[in-house]
Amino acid sequence: MPPISNPSIIFNELPKGEPTLETLKIDESAQIDLEEELKENEIILKLVCVSLDPYMRGRMREEHIKSYSPAFPLNKPIGGHGVAKVIKSKSSRYEEGVHIYGVLPYTTYIRRMAPTEQEDAQNAKFFGGPALKILKNEENLSWSTYIGAAGMPGKTAYMAWKEYSPVQGHIGQAKVAYISAGSGPVGSLAIQMAKKDGYKVIASAGSDKKIQFCKDIGADVVFNYKTDNPDEIFAKEAPEGIDVNWVNVGGKAFETELAHSASHGRVIVCGWISAYNGKSDGITNLFQIVAKRLHVNGFIVGDLEPKYGSEFYSTVPKALASGEVKFSEVKYDGLDKIPQAFIDLLAGKQGGGDGLGKVVIEIK
Amino acid sequence: MPPISNPSIIFNELPKGEPTLETLKIDESAQIDLEEELKENEIILKLVCVSLDPYMRGRMREEHIKSYSPAFPLNKPIGGHGVAKVIKSKSSRYEEGVHIYGVLPYTTYIRRMAPTEQEDAQNAKFFGGPALKILKNEENLSWSTYIGAAGMPGKTAYMAWKEYSPVQGHIGQAKVAYISAGSGPVGSLAIQMAKKDGYKVIASAGSDKKIQFCKDIGADVVFNYKTDNPDEIFAKEAPEGIDVNWVNVGGKAFETELAHSASHGRVIVCGWISAYNGKSDGITNLFQIVAKRLHVNGFIVGDLEPKYGSEFYSTVPKALASGEVKFSEVKYDGLDKIPQAFIDLLAGKQGGGDGLGKVVIEIK
């Protein structure tokens, strides 16, 4: 068999504000020879599905600007969380046919050395597991679930809720949680975590379909952030204040949320989508952090994975398989759909319209 | 002896922005008869010294606006932390001659019932001690110390530093602390707490005299927030970021502080002086809370007093008496000085000029 095409998605152009079809491009120029003899410990992976997540917008920046995740280099393949299948292997740890989960380049075939023990130890220290985690999938979930509800977004909701929602201090009883972007892959899990802990859950979303989904998974009150007045809704539905504010969106709405925070409230800052395209509203009432004695925690899921990783994998996939925990996906077919899918994602229009759920790119 | 004058400081006029000489007024119209027979459990206190603190500006608002401390009613005496002497007593718990510390009305003589056990229990629940705490003062400190370094401001620094400065999570090693308003009664204690814990301490203050004081008590780097560029100073002095940011001032400077926060930094929000007179700058980079995985905690000292109260009183007065912990006071003589002293305090001009230290009003 001669070398075959090995398409990848490259970072083509720095976006100014919202990404366009020029931001990411498919590059089909590279080739790979799948017949070539592998070296000892080498493996070839083939992508099964990859994730698109809002945080990736932050990686599309000039390389000299520091942030928590490295900038994507221009004209090189982007990467992110994905599931791949080991299709060739000279590693005893990764047998042909197994599926792995990890941070992967978005290149159809990936020829690389199996991770060393050192690499795994380093990864475990920061992310609680090996660099390429073998998925046993005893629950027979679709592979895409492992980049969504059973992957990074699910972990984000599960671990941060466990770590940062409990009442701190000696005053106060948890009653009301507010979750913005409630229909998203993180928000929808956060809603279900909050309900399980007995909270009255207020959520927000941007369309009737998304609002209905939030209700279907248990939210008590759901409003449309585009048309409803959150100030009135919080005053009516949380007269004693919001005890846990799960922030996905931030922006000017955060001022209203602070104004309605309960004393000793916890603010879990998971994202600040409103600023990902560069716009950023000024928040003028941060004195409320003192006045309300708030506990505000930002986090990256990897920080919490050493503490909660095995608990997560031993409970969440089962709960997803049984239907106890609900989730929603929007699937795109093929790497070439990524440029448009990423635009859709940041615009909240998954699937090109009023889509709903975790964006998943499947690669046949 | 006929009834005598019982001067008090009343809340005379709602301030618009900065307080003026019309905001607070001395009222000498009331009288008290010190010869009158007391009822069972009644006591008469005479003020020895009272405190003026920036948070009191927040109480000078319209009564219908809720906040963490109640609004001062117009035309009634204001109140705050003070030390008083029991000059008459029919209470077995408060003998004549003892000194007490508590939240008192700023009225020269206070005739009241001794606190009931219920009142004390309620107070202990929220503030860790009785409503009127008897000061044994075995260290023979000046009474004014008990409203400053050995009182509410000292507790604020001591307790919040203990509670919120320790490293959370698995990454990071504490190295640099930044303390704004470093020469103030809270900031100066915070500087000394940070130094004791081995931090490199960067502080800011508004005059040469205040800067020198910060250095004298151990700060490694001190800049003038009115003339220096904090962005350059943090870049040079904290190239790996600020691990603990003790916020007294807030405002636009907070953006620069966020930009220079270290990963896993702790932000202790003790005050937001920049907004006390009503102005409030918008903070546009709160996404840094996620990017830097920050832990931001607001608090009121009473929240922490049940946990740290007895530790504080058993260690801090001793350390103040021995000179191990340093502090500075600006004394005003007489209740009638309060209207001007409060203006000076909010302008950072204690004593009418380049004053420095805890504002104390002594009443002869």
Name chain A contacts of B267, Cβ cutoff 8 Å. Answer: 296
Name chain B contacts of A269, Cβ cutoff 8 Å. Answer: 286, 289-290
Choose among B287, B294, B299: nearest Cβ to A250.
B287
Q: How far is A308 from chain B (nearest CA, A)?
A: 13
Tokens of B60: 């000078």
What is the pLDDT averaged over residues A193-199?
94
Q: Which has the closest alpha carbon to B261: A66, A56, A69, A137?
A: A66
In chain B, which residues fall in CATH 3.40.50.720? 152-301
Task: For residue B81, list its beta bridge partners.
Answer: B103
Please enumerate in sequence order all residues whose Cβ is within 8 A of that of B198, keeping only pairs 6 or more positions apart, or say none: B174
Q: Which has the closest alpha carbon to A215: A49, A329, A326?
A: A326
Name chain A contacts of B290, Cβ cutoff 8 Å. Answer: 68, 269-272, 298-300
**A118 burial class (0-12, 13-18, 19+ CB within 10 angstroms)?**
exposed
pLDDT for B279 equals 67
The amino acid sitting at A226 is K
Q: What backbone phi and psi angles, to 5 degrees, belong to B107?
A: -130, 125
Q: Is the pLDDT of residue B266 over 60?
A: yes
Give the CA distances from residue A210 to residues A30, A203, A257, A333, in Å, rounded to whole numbers and listed in that order.
40, 10, 21, 23
Going by pLDDT thresholds of 50, 70 and 90, the confidence category of residue A1 is confident
Ramachandran region of residue B140, left (φ > 0), alpha (ψ -120 to 50) or beta?
Answer: left
Contact between B34 and B68 under an 8 Å Cβ cutoff? The reply is: no
Going by pLDDT thresholds of 50, 70 and 90, the confidence category of residue A174 is low
Distance, in Å, from the CA atom of A308 to the CA atom of A315, rounded to the nearest integer, reads 11
Distance, in Å, from the CA atom of A61 to the CA atom of A81, rounded to the nearest integer, reads 19
pLDDT for A122 equals 83
Q: Which residue has the higher pLDDT, B44 or A128?
A: B44
CA angle A48, A49, A54 (to 5 degrees): 160
Per-chain mean pLDDT for chain B? 93
Q: Do A299 and B290 touch (CB under 8 A)?
A: yes
Q: Do B294 and A296 touch (CB under 8 A)?
A: yes
Per-residue model confidence as pLDDT tens digits over B6-61: 999 999 999 998 999 999 999 999 999 999 999 999 999 999 999 999 889 999 99
Choose among B250, B263, B264: nearest Cβ to A286.
B250
Choose among B58, B67, B296: nearest Cβ to A289.
B296
Nearest chain A alpha carbon to B299? A293
Going by pLDDT thresholds of 50, 70 and 90, the confidence category of residue B178 is very high
**CATH 3.90.180.10: does it fit domain B4-148+328-362?**
yes
Going by pLDDT thresholds of 50, 70 and 90, the confidence category of residue B105 is very high
What is the pLDDT averaged over residues A53-67?
89
The amino acid sitting at A94 is Y
Q: Do B290 and A282 touch (CB under 8 A)?
A: no
The amino acid sitting at B312 is F
Q: Domain A4-148+327-362 falls in which CATH fold?
A: Quinone Oxidoreductase; Chain A, domain 1 (3.90.180)
Q: Do A68 and B170 touch (CB under 8 A)?
A: no
In chain A, which residues fall in CATH 3.90.180.10? 4-148+327-362
Length of chain A in terms of residues written: 364
Q: Do B296 and A299 touch (CB under 8 A)?
A: no
Tokens of A75: 């004209």
For chains A and B, CB pairs below 8 A equal 119
Q: Is the pLDDT of residue A8 over 70?
A: yes
Name chain A contacts of B286, Cβ cutoff 8 Å. Answer: 250, 254, 269, 272, 283
Q: Do B293 and A250 touch (CB under 8 A)?
A: no
Going by pLDDT thresholds of 50, 70 and 90, the confidence category of residue B173 is low
Per-residue model confidence as pLDDT tens digits over B204-255: 999 999 999 999 999 999 999 999 999 999 999 999 999 999 999 999 999 9
Per-residue model confidence as pLDDT tens digits over A234-282: 999 999 999 999 999 999 999 999 999 999 999 999 999 888 766 688 9
End-to-end CA distance of chain B: 19
Question: Which single residue is written with the structure tokens 């998925």?
Answer: A135
Q: Spell A341-362 as b/e; 16+ CB within 10 A means b.
A: bbbbbbebebbeeebbbbbbbb
Q: Is the pLDDT of residue B171 over 50?
A: no
Distance, in Å, from the CA atom of A62 to the CA atom of B197, rounded to the nearest integer, reads 38
Q: Spell A212-229 as b/e; 16+ CB within 10 A means b.
A: ebbbebbbbbbbebeeee
CA atoms within 13 A on the CB side of A23: 26
Task: For residue A297, list its beta bridge partners.
Answer: A268, B295
Q: How far is A102 from chain B (nearest CA, A)?
A: 21
Task: For residue B247, list its beta bridge partners.
Answer: B269
Element (DSSP H or E) covering residue B10: strand B8-11
In chain B, which residues fall in CATH 3.90.180.10? 4-148+328-362
CATH tag, A152-301: 3.40.50.720
